Amino acid sequence: MLREKLARFHHCRPENIIVGNGSDELLALATRAFVEPSIDPAPASAAGGGEGAPRAGAEAPNILLRARNARSSASVRAIQGASRPSRSVVQFFTPSYSLYPVLAEIQGGVSNPVPLHADFSLPSVGELRRGGRWDFRAALTYVTAPNAPSGRGYSTRELDALCHAHRGAVVLDEAYVDFADENAMALGLRHRHVLVARTFSKAYSLCFLRVGYLVGHADLIAALQKIRDSYNVNGLGQVAALATLANLPYYRNNFRRIRATRERLSRELAALGFRVYPSQTNFVLARPPEWPAGAWLEKLRGRKILVRWFDLPGVRDCLRITIGTDGEIDALLEAVRRILRVNR
């Protein structure tokens, strides 16, 4: 029943949807389906960079075949040691979701992390080809859209261009897309090798109930259905997800409120000297003035304001601030003003 409701919501067929125990289970399922274990410790850096590479979708039938046979053939290929490097590559931009390299390691694949631009914008296909690190034949490519932890959103046009250039499977991870101006759901139905991942955990607040889903070509979804665990979604989660879909006006109003509060927070932080990156999520990433981000974390914590800090390349000098209620945002801004006044 949940698949039927989701199909109506996304204007597709139930055969285009697979539901899982949160989207994380489905990301793991995709990794199992598409990625061959490797005995080679390093990826081929430019396996698909040439201009003469076949167009996207050229290998889609092979993707489907590998998915259907994944459970039985992956171990055989590993024993034989016959996997090509690109068939073992799990590729993603950095910074992004920390689960991707973990899934690659569990599967015995090879991670190929490639940096985003300094402002977290997406490199163009031409830039990726010239850079030589991006593998357009990678077995599986994850794109977090909007990006986390930066909050940066990407247009459907640029995501479509990236998908079109790929020969391997692509998963567009849209965990935060309900807070964005546009989404790429149509790409999961347009391209045979593209899946779009969604979750009820973020915008719909069902994180403890674990319900997520993938949307894609019916043949690709059927292949994934063959290797998923039986009864993988709990009944209470399904009931809650159905109730959520029956109350979409409430949630859409909440999304509008969060977007409005996000814009207000971004403006006021910028006026206080923060560099605020554009966000299409329910949080903002901001580089604070005066002190390192880690010091700001402690100063705010001392005033009972909790924000997030990632000790990771590219975001180490930033704070990630969740969009709370207007009252919570007012408390944050007042704490920031007091901290800055003490320093001056």
What does the DSSP assignment read for 92-158? EEESS-THHHHHHHHHT-EEEEEEPPTTSPPPPHHHHHHHS---TT-SEEEEESS-TTT-----HHH
pLDDT tens for 76-131 read: 233 223 335 589 999 999 999 999 999 999 999 999 999 999 999 999 999 999 99
pLDDT tens for 155-197 read: 999 999 999 999 999 999 999 999 999 999 999 999 999 999 9
Which of these CATH numbers, 3.40.640.10, 3.20.10.10, 3.40.190.10, 3.10.450.200, describes 2-246?
Answer: 3.40.640.10
Q: So what's the pLDDT on residue 48?
A: 44
- Homologous superfamily (CATH) for 249-343: Aspartate Aminotransferase, domain 1 (3.90.1150.10)
Q: So what's the pLDDT on residue 182?
A: 95
Mean pLDDT of 300-306: 96
b/e 202-212 (16+ beta carbons within 10 angstroms → b): bbbebeebbbb
Outline where the chain has alpha helix (H).
2-10, 22-34, 60-80, 99-107, 125-131, 156-165, 185-190, 218-225, 235-245, 248-271, 293-302, 326-343
Indicate the pTM of the whole model. 0.86
Q: Which residue ranges does the chain devote to CATH 3.40.640.10? A: 2-246
Alpha-carbon span 129 to 340, nearest angstrom: 45
Residue from 201, 224, 205, 206 nearest 214 by CA? 224
- DSSP bridge pairs for 141: 91, 170
- Contact between 166 and 135 under an 8 Å Cβ cutoff? The reply is no
Sorted by sequence, the CB contacts under 8 Å of residue 71 that are 6+ apart come out as 32, 226, 227
Residue from 165, 172, 159, 219 nearest 13 by CA? 219
Tokens standing for 250? 């409430």
Q: Which residue ranges does the chain devote to CATH 3.90.1150.10? A: 249-343
pLDDT higher than threshold 50 for residue 56 = no
pLDDT-derived band at 230 (thresholds 50, 70, 90) equals confident
The radius of gyration of the chain's CA atoms, rounded to the nearest angstrom, is 21
Sorted by sequence, the CB contacts under 8 Å of residue 279 that are 6+ apart come out as 146, 150, 151, 152, 153, 262, 266, 285
